[in-house]
Amino acid sequence: MPVTIRANELGRFGVDRPTLLLDEERARRNIVRMAGKAAAAGVQFRPHFKTHQSAAVGEWFRDAGAEAITVSSVDMAAYFAANGWQDITVAFPANVREMALIDALARDIRLHLVVDAPEAVTALAHDLRHRVHVWIKVDVGKRRAGIPWDETERIRDLAQRIHAAKGLDFAGLLTHAGHTYDAPDAAGVVAIHSSSLARMRQLQAALRAGGVDPGVISIGDTPGCSLAQSFTGADEIRPGNFVFFDLMQARLGVCTNDDIAVAVACPVAGKSAARHELVLYGGAVHLSKDTCRDARGRPTYGCLATWTGDRWGSPEPGAPVISLSQEHGLVQVEDELFHSVDIGDLVIVLPAHSCLAADLYSEYLTLRGKRLPRRRSNDRVTTPATAT
Amino acid sequence: MPVTIRANELGRFGVDRPTLLLDEERARRNIVRMAGKAAAAGVQFRPHFKTHQSAAVGEWFRDAGAEAITVSSVDMAAYFAANGWQDITVAFPANVREMALIDALARDIRLHLVVDAPEAVTALAHDLRHRVHVWIKVDVGKRRAGIPWDETERIRDLAQRIHAAKGLDFAGLLTHAGHTYDAPDAAGVVAIHSSSLARMRQLQAALRAGGVDPGVISIGDTPGCSLAQSFTGADEIRPGNFVFFDLMQARLGVCTNDDIAVAVACPVAGKSAARHELVLYGGAVHLSKDTCRDARGRPTYGCLATWTGDRWGSPEPGAPVISLSQEHGLVQVEDELFHSVDIGDLVIVLPAHSCLAADLYSEYLTLRGKRLPRRRSNDRVTTPATAT
């Protein structure tokens, strides 16, 4: 059968404009695989839910045995607490402006917070009435948030403050080796993972030698957790993107093309024969403006995928998304594919970065036609569970 | 008074996480200015509402005399029709998958559609029961959608098809000279504007000479409409971004810094003294990953603005947003500013591109503390006005 990119079968589910698709089978397989890897390694599995932000998808993690989760905002914690999750880490420096909501959550669930500054510890100790578990955010090389791993004195000082604060339970050392995303390839990812974990162990030992209980070690980036053979020294892993993966991860060698579990269905709105371009109803507000590198190293917003009749197949390297404006997407396609679709047909775009693309929608459409609601990052939750 | 970037006065409105701010006074001034310019030129003012997507902000346009509007999707048309707008152009190639909703809208309001392909004309003529006004989308150099302006034969053929179709009223020739955004400076914008309009007039004359009624001319990009001294030959203008403007427009010389009417308030979540960086609670899901060029030509996601006590002031070129992940933003700041803010303070980010940043939120907070709801691009509207 010739390759096709025409996905008009989706019309039976009412797909008539850009629509976020979810392959439940692949997502469940990704979840089970990572949960199994954590279990085999004897580490706590605390998946990051910022990628999917859906109570329904959360249930698939529960089916795989997950009981503890990670989120990236207090709002997101409130959403999942309202959906039955009782053990949540907010893996973002504690926002001292949200003490009332944090305290309400701490009353209802086992809440973990992250800090990298003494001011935050002081504020938490002063303002919270309910106990929270507090982690020190350590920077092992990402150079974003956290105290650099080799600044042992600062970290020891912070640990002592947390140990000394009433109402705060010191949990341990937490890092996100997100610089794995900048690695050239899979071997580079593994090298960063190994050195990051070694740095965390070294820090842990230094604190212990200095007479401070360093707690446990929590790590968590999808590239490292997917490719690593071992988590020696880690007590907990917090990967997130792996539930869906995306073109960026596939290009980095972290997953196979068959692991990519979300895509966006877009109507073809126009065709330029002169430029060999499809004009999609599908722009920056449907895909996000994040990019990854294509096979030739050029930045791309995504690419079309083949369609097998009931699901998408492989990314089509000959059909990159080369330009996005608010609602328009331009796809440069090779001759045969260009002539195989008409205006009004549906095609499948694999976005560069699934976390940002998915956050543009308030629901998923599964390949079996189920619509699963999801929150978007700037939605607010007010429920009895979170009212102060 | 020394320059300050600390905007903690916003705390009185409950700002405790990334929040989309709107300076109503500036937005109203931007609207009145453009409406006045259209009136003075004797052209129809049909502002594009994709930038604000808010019924409340739409009322400010009504206050300035606007009666006709532009949108970029059928959903957006349905939203504004449900909010009392009776004359709407969907300035995106007609999506033949949404005929039922288009037909319902055409029943209730004066609906204008845009086409650039015979297939779309055939579909509209066949499927719609209610009359619509149809424009031909012309490409004057943007190279996105539309038929190139110098392919007169194709355009004449399409115009004849529309004229011949029962139920379709041929309206005219419509273009978006969006390549003004790629101009090096204001003079470059004006040059593109002038040549684009000349091309449209030339096309119009060629069609007329060929015996086809070419209808009227509609143009509309914010850079061109803001800087042009005249619209000779145009019958209608459709700018959109000017209601808010943004850093991109200011850097291009299209507006002054004092015209920028939206910004995002972000809590400071951390500080790196070694790197002179602030870590903001404010990432790609709060600002979008769109970029513009800074003074040195480097891409930037935005920059901090000064704060005058009750509104933001000028962009701080010494405080660019250099990195965005999902929730984190990194701002590189000069020494004095770095020491002037603490963890938990609020700062103001001017995003590179206001249309995409605003679309991440479901409400605006005005500087006087009013919360104005807005739709987001993937929201769906179902109202009596749009049910089939």
Identify whether residues B33 and B179 lie together within a single domain.
Answer: yes
A251 domain-assigned = no
Name residues whose C-beta falls within 8 Å of residue B373's C-beta, 6 or more positions apart in sequence: B54, B55, B56, B362, B363
Contact criterion met (CB < 8 Å) for A326 and B17? no
> For residue A316, what pLDDT is reported?
94
pLDDT in tens, A74-87: 999 999 999 999 99
Q: Is residue A254 part of a domain?
A: no
Q: What is the full DSSP assignment across B303-340? A: EEEEE-SSSEEEEEEEEEEEEE-SSEEEEE--HHHHHH
In angstroms, the CA A287 to CA A281 distance is 11
Interface test with A, best of B285, B291, B345, B347 (most A CBs within 10 A): B285
Co-location of A228 and A312 in the same domain: no
**Is the predicted pLDDT of residue A384 greater than 80, yes or no?**
no
Residues of B in contact with A342 (CB under 8 A): 119
Q: Inspect the interface and report whether the beta carbons of A325 and B144 lie closer than 8 Å.
A: yes
Last residue of a domain, one of B217, B243, B269: B243
**Residue written as token pair 């998923």:** A364
Give the pLDDT confidence score for residue A171 in this predicted structure.
Answer: 98
Q: Are A67 and A46 in contact (CB under 8 A)?
A: no
Q: Pick the last residue of a domain from A244, A276, A309.
A: A244
Please check whether residue B1 lies inside any domain of the structure.
Answer: no
Residue B262 contacts residue B244 (beta carbons within 8 Å): yes
Domain shared by A98 and A240, yes or no: yes
Query: How close B40 gets to chain A, by Cα (Å)?
Result: 30
pLDDT at A119 over 80: yes
Do residue B330 and residue B221 come from a single domain? no
* Inter-CA distances, B319 with A386, B1, B335, Å: 36, 19, 10
In a domain, residue A386? The reply is no
Task: Answer whether A71's CB lies under 8 Å from A91's CB.
Answer: yes
Q: What percent of chain A has pLDDT over 70?
A: 97
pLDDT per position as a tens digit, B339-380: 999 999 999 999 999 999 999 999 999 999 999 999 999 987
CATH no. for residue A364? 2.40.37.20
The list of chain B residues with pLDDT below 70 reads 1-2, 381-388
Burial class (CB within 10 angstroms; exposed 0-12, middle 13-18, buried 19+) of A246: buried
Same domain for A222 and A106: yes
Asked whether residue B52 is domain-assigned, the answer is: yes
Q: Are residues B231 and B349 in the same domain?
A: no
Is residue B276 located within the same domain as residue B230? no
Residues on chain B touching A272 (C-beta within 8 angstroms) = 143
Does residue B236 share a domain with residue B173?
yes
Whether residue A383 has pLDDT greater than 80: no
Interface with A, mutate which of B6, B8, B15, B17 (most A CBs under 10 A) = B17
Reference A93, options B227, B343, B110, B69; nearest CA is B343
Evaluate whether residue B252 is within a structural domain. Answer: no
| A12 lies in the same domain as A33 | no
Is A119 in contact with B275 (Cβ distance < 8 A)? no
pLDDT for res B380: 77
Q: Are strands B346-351 and A132-139 parallel, antiparallel or unpaired?
A: unpaired
User: How many folded domains does chain B comprise?
Assistant: 2
pLDDT in tens, A248-265: 999 999 999 999 999 999
Residue A47 has pLDDT above 50, yes or no: yes
* Residues of chain B with C-beta less than 8 angstroms from the C-beta of A146: 270
Rounded to whole angstroms, the Cα distance separating A183 from B86 reads: 54
What is the nearest CA distance from B267 to chain A, expressed in angstroms? Answer: 8
Neighbours of A388 (CB within 10 A): 10
Output helix, strand, coil percentages for chain B, rounded to the nearest 5. 35, 25, 40
User: Mean pLDDT across the stretch A353-382?
Assistant: 93
Q: What is the pLDDT of residues A94-105, one digit of tens each?
A: 999 999 999 999
Residues B110 and B228 in one domain: yes
Q: Which of A216, A244, A272 is the last residue of a domain?
A: A244
User: Scanning every residue of chain A, which has its alpha carbon at the shortest distance from the alpha carbon of B100?
Assistant: A16
Q: Which chain A residues are within 8 Å of B342, Cβ to Cβ?
A: 119
Residue B289 and residue A286: Cβ atoms within 8 Å? Answer: no
The pLDDT confidence band at residue A387, using thresholds 50, 70 and 90, is very low
Residue B273 lies in a domain: yes
Q: What is the CATH number of the domain that holds A112?
A: 3.20.20.10
* Domain co-membership, A78 together with A209: yes
User: What is the DSSP annotation of A301-332?
Assistant: SEEEEEE-SSSEEEEEEEEEEEEE-SSEEEEE
The mean pLDDT value for A293-320 works out to: 93
Domain with B321, as residue range(s), is 8-22+261-373
B348 and B334 co-located in one domain: yes
Residue B384 lies in a domain: no
> ipTM of this predicted complex?
0.96
CA B9/CA B309 separation, integer angstroms: 7
Q: What is the pLDDT of residue B385?
A: 38
